[in-house]
Amino acid sequence: MLSLLLGRLDAVGPRDSQPMVTVAGEVERRQTIDLRDLAEICADEVTVDFHCHEGWSRPGQSYRGVALATLLRLAQARPAARYVTVASGGYSIVLTREQAEDQRVLPALELDGEPLAAPRLVGPSEWDCFLSVKDVDRIELTRTAQQATGPSIALGRIGR
């Protein structure tokens, strides 16, 4: 399935105005993937308890999407890439390569069986809530850690 998707992306590029996710940086094959193409390889599931620093929780949320590790393989991530920045506009978080390749980390396309408008990065229950990036539009692999804006933006919203 990945080879078919890769071949189609190389041949025609992304389609119309669907939300796009770009995988770039320390990769052999930069990818721009639209929501429909992500949905075609959507095969991974994770159930997590989401705890917000604002004091609320949502236990047992079931997400379905594509393991981030799959997208890194699709783009042929270079071995030298030690960090993965996941972003939406000016909001970004940085994961180590090991964290990013955890099979519980995925850009989700569904929450509790309902489609999401754009990919949302989710991970293990022990993650800080600000690591859950809504509307993911880019994934960048780097040799050094980039500056993450997510923690300061998220915690600034609640006065911390």
Specify the 3-state DSSP secondary structure of 71.
Answer: helix
First to last CA, the chain: 45
pTM of the full structure = 0.86
Q: By the 8 A CB rule, do 37 and 135 touch?
A: no
**Which domain, by its residues, includes 61?**
2-157
Cα separation, 84 vs 73, whole angstroms: 13
Q: How far is CA 71 from CA 12, 56, 86, 112, 158, in A?
A: 18, 31, 12, 22, 33
Looking at residue 125, what is its pLDDT? 84
Low-confidence spans in the chain with pLDDT less than 70: 1-17, 158, 160
Q: What is the CATH number of the domain that holds 31?
A: 3.90.420.10
Looking at residue 12, what is its pLDDT? 41
Count structural domains, the chain: 1
Which amino acid is residue 115, in one-letter code? P
Q: Which DSSP state fits 129?
A: G
